Structure 1
Amino acid sequence: MICGTDEAGRGPIAGPVVAAAVILDPNRPIEGINDSKKLSEKKRNALSALIKERALYWAIAQCNADEIDAINILQASLLAMQRAVEALPIGPTLVLVDGNKLPKLKVPAQAIVGGDGIEACIGAASILAKVERDRQMLAWHAQHPEYDFAKHKGYPTPQHLAALVEHGPCAIHRQSFAPVTRALANRKPAAQ
């Protein structure tokens, strides 16, 4: 019962950090699992569906922008991974974590730098986390099209930063992140 866990969304200035935990079924292998950043959106979406269908267990959890602002992005990433592992219906015997830090877990865990490209269970978790986060950012785009979340998924692109200066932050912007703070300082005053 080896579980892999990974997160998506540490770099953006808007939206949650999303984590997944996956226990793969050794009798139902899935070809093509890799670090989600190395896969096309179409491939990620197809693999996400296969992982959900074939894995023994999987769970997704997150920390929202307010939590990120309160505890910082590293701690929020670790907390999201902890929540994902704890959301599994069965406790794993070992958790493999992408990166060099471990979340607080009640079971043995091992950090593996670049683990999402080495261990299939971590790669599977990275795919589920990325697909879920992208899905949420598309939903936020429908509510706030002025930021174009569908295109940049909350990353600090020049277009996103310009929209932030023009419109100010919305509920999912991470207020503690420097680009948001700077954009607020440079915001044009409202017309009278």
Structure 2
Amino acid sequence: MIQLPKEKKIAIISKPSLNSNELNLKVLNSDLAQDFVDHFDFSKKQLFIDCDEDALLEIDSELQTTDKRLLWESGKLKLTEEEWVSFQNTIPPLSPFLAQDLTGKELMLAWGKKESLLSAVESGLGTYYSRSRMGKWVKGEESGHLQNLTAIYVHSNPFFVQYVTNQIGAACHTGYYSCFFRELGANDSISFVYKSKVGA
């Protein structure tokens, strides 16, 4: 079975179908996440893994999803000024930011800060925090593979941000449309979701 990176937080995204905008997310330590993979029931559910092997996508048709809140849509905040100021005080120092395309497909999971979300609201572009560069990261600002946002949702317990975006080109640095380009299967099988890359 695939070995997840040690000493790393692993995000597990769960949703009832591949093209659903409804989902749950949890963050586990590497030992618990490895146990999740090792005991996964491939006969009833699907499991995908991202390029860095620190995010998993579970498709479970019986899943019950939690509520989300529409924060921003088509360039406009959906909160009053007072609600927006109050909401900003609830944003954790670092949290998962998940990007989905307009059909509900997961594109990538990265991490973001309060400043990332404020920048996304202001610019309408998928914005994150790069832990390697220790600074703001606008997806595609170098490659041109920008994420033009149509909506931003926020979830609580745990807090995470859900971008809905019109993805230009590849979301993944490997050149694949999505970072979740591999599906795990029974007996240690791995299959590729996309036949070809769309960018580099």
Q: Tell me the TM-score range normalised by the shorter chain.
A: under 0.3
Give the TM-score normalised by structure 2. Answer: 0.23
Higher strand share goes to which structure? 2
Higher relative contact order (CA 8 A, sep 6+): 1
Give the TM-score normalised by structure 1. Answer: 0.24
Higher Cα Rg: structure 1 or 2?
A: 1
